[in-house]
Structure 1
Amino acid sequence: MKHICISTLLLLHVLLINSRSYGQDTVSASKDLYFGLTPPDMVAMPLALDAMSAEGWELGGLHGSGMDEFYFISSLAGPFRPDVISFRKEGRVWKKYDFYSSASDIMYSKDKYIERTETGWSEMKSIGAAFEDIRIMRLTASLKGTLVFDEVGTNGNGIIRYSRLVDGKREAPKPFAKEINTGKWNAHPFIAPDESYIIWDSEREDGYGRTDMHISFRKKDGSWGEAINFGDKINTDGWDGGAYVTPDGKYLSFCPNCNPPYDRMWVDAKIIETLRPNE
């Protein structure tokens, strides 16, 4: 019965409730949001859930109003940031899309998006022709509509780009400067809903091994600060990354030494503030 309650709550949060909020005042403090787990403090803890298999669980199942759309939720990206999987009928073929919820009434699937309307979710739309030739792995969005995303790289190549909404129009993607695009395997960015920081993976000469988690804070003049390594309390000598902050802003989840079965850790998001430079 508890699993059903959690399933319903998460399904409502992702598919039905307006998700413009990022502050703690608008997100339920129900312990069910954390599966009854004792939240971590400033020391990272394994995010181990007996109710979840390594293959991930699937929740819910909703048809769109026209019966040509079907949605369910998968935990493979992490239990507090579930993917929304949609099968959409296009002609006589059902096609699968993985959507990521954003900080607005829009969900993104790489270079495509759908938005909430009064009658349900819209038809699939292209973000723009400039995005269609980029092999995007992860795309996140801020409350202002700024998109931050990576590109599948080869031989260590990897670049992180952004695209803002300017006067209601989507600008062409632009690469971040060297503060972010330095080193190898730059990937899996997460932009804070208020655009105060960006977290991503990168392999750099001063790192702890393969990729490490880094963060850049936005300065008062709007520019981005130098990359800051999360340190050896978070990073290992392996592939570390895939970070995101829970929608209530309380916890940071990430994948240390990220190899199958991709076990995740979580830590109090206050750790972010310990890295913020004094201006």
Structure 2
Amino acid sequence: MDLLFDPLFRLPFVAGLMAAIVVAITGLYLRLRAEWLAALGFAHLAGAGGVVGVIIGAPPLAAALGASVIAVLVKGALQRSGNDVYAWLILFGWAAMLIGATFTHHAKILGDALVDGQLYFAASAELWATLSIAAATAIALPLLSRSLLRSELFPGHDRTNGRPLWPVTVGFDLLAAVAIAVAALVMGVMAAFALVFIPAWIAFALAGSWRLAVLWSGLIAAALYTVSYVTALLADLPFAPVLVAIAAAAAPLRLLSKRLGPRPAS
């Protein structure tokens, strides 16, 4: 555990930990909305944006965030919900990311990092990005949460009472897109997806209330991330495959739901 406090590894550890907790909690809301595939869609598109940014000489993080914001605006213009929109984002993003990575050496390095999840190369820009999105999530999500839950549990309630729902859905989509984009650049595309999908999948079964589900998601993500970070560091392995493997191995935790009570209503 001393490695976590080494100056060389402390910065990437904190950056990844913040990203892991944020995307796990965001994933809980995506699962509630049956849009968990958004994690892969936004992550692939962010990866493509980062690669294109390298090619044109723009900062990869800014380009990735820009691509994610464009995706949210397109989704809002289409007025579509569900996973089919995100399936198209995955296809376009994956193709653009891999094709773009062939153009320059630096683009290839970024493309490989997005696949392997080379978290140890995270710098101060990534740290500040994760801290910023964590702060934004802590402020915005409690304000959006009630409306998001109401829209799923009582469809049409806000519309019937004259309250437009689109500012809430677009606001959450933007928050999710930015969080997933940052996580994808920091720890890799599949690692970001695993942290969006698996902690929420387990928490949905374990928790008996929504607040407990949020707590469970954050704690599970933090635990999976820390174990994976230390394991990959000690074994000299790429971070993303180690995290995905350990997260998948934690799936039996969902079986504890029979003892701990029912999942939150959805």
Please state which structure has a larger fraction of its residues in strand: 1
Indicate whether the TM-score tops 0.5. Answer: no
Please state which structure has a larger fraction of its residues in helix: 2
TM-score, length basis structure 2: 0.26
